Amino acid sequence: EAQVTQNPRYLITVTGKKLTVTCSQNMNHEYMSWYRQDPGLGLRQIYYSMNVEVTDKGDVPEGYKVSRKEKRNFPLILESPSPNQTSLYFCASSRQVKGNEKLFFGSGTQLSVL
């Protein structure tokens, strides 16, 4: 089944403790991206990747890191999480880097930073 898989589904952590949210797609997609969803703000793009070893900042990259060493994986790293990073996070992928491509979304990761 074609899918984008995120783990974990829920995560509670404390300020400053490094964490990684994993994202994997099995569709051989070129494009992958991370979003955070906050009430009243919709989805905002954190980082995106156009292919292996090619990543770039979205609109809200501060406090986050990403890597794309393999085509299928695009982990989101919070080196020193803070409470303002409490949010619902989504990974998404698309077949190509074209504006008319459909995005496939993971089920989300609810992160709470205490």
The answer to whether residues 101 and 95 touch, using CB atoms and an 8 Å cutoff, is yes
| Contact flag: residue 65 with other proteins (CB under 8 A) | no
CA-CA distance, 94 to 113, in Å (whole number)?
30
Among 11, 27, 50, 77, binds other proteins (CB under 8 A): 50
The closest alpha carbon to 26, from 2, 62, 46, belongs to: 2
Asked if 40 interacts with other proteins (CB under 8 A), we say yes
**Tokens (6 digits) for 95:** 């077949």
If one asks whether residue 103 binds other proteins (CB under 8 A), the answer comes out as yes
Q: Which residues of the chain form contacts with other proteins (CB under 8 A)?
A: 4, 31, 33, 35, 40-45, 48, 50, 56, 58-59, 90, 92, 97-103, 105-108
